[in-house]
């Protein structure tokens, strides 16, 4: 039988609040840790200076995570890397990184 943990309840609350308040937005809430909530949209993307720094952030905040997709997007004159990954617990997450300062240079 499935047990709801505090993590599941918090995730459900954050996800449902985001879905109802931002239903037309491209922005996505991807996690429930304080660190995860800081890089979940292009508006709150973490500025990095290298691709290595992106992966260091993911693995530092989500030990045991597995990145399965990396996507480049261009929005409002800025470039972003979007990393999609699965946490050690099996949760799918997305993190946005502002790479404007080094992309194409």
Structure confidence by residue, pLDDT tens digits, 25-47 = 333 334 445 555 567 778 889 99
Judge contact between 87 and 33, C-beta under 8 A: no
List residues bridging with 61 in a β-sheet. none
For residue 71, the cross-strand partners are: 82
Q: 65-102, pLDDT tens digit by residue?
A: 999 999 999 999 999 999 999 999 999 999 999 999 99
Query: What is the model's pLDDT at position 84?
Result: 95
pLDDT at residue 33, rounded to an integer:
52
The residue ranking higher by pLDDT, 63 or 27, is 63
- Looking at residue 40, its pLDDT comes to 72
Q: 3-class secondary structure for 20-82?
A: HHCCCCCCCCCCCCCCHHHCCCCCCCEECCCHHHHHHHHHHHCCCCEEEEEEEEEECCEEEEE
């Amino acid at each position: 039988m499935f047990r709801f943990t505090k993590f599941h309840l918090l995730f459900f609350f954050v996800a449902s609040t985001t879905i109802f308040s931002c239903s037309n937005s491209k922005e996505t809430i991807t996690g429930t840790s304080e660190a995860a909530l800081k890089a979940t949209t292009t508006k709150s993307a973490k500025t990095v200076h290298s691709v290595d720094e992106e992966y260091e952030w993911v693995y530092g905040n989500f030990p045991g995570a597995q990145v399965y997709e990396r996507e480049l997007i261009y929005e409002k004159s800025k470039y972003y890397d979007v990393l999609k990954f699965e946490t050690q617990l099996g949760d799918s997450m997305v993190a946005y990184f502002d790479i404007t300062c080094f992309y194409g240079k």
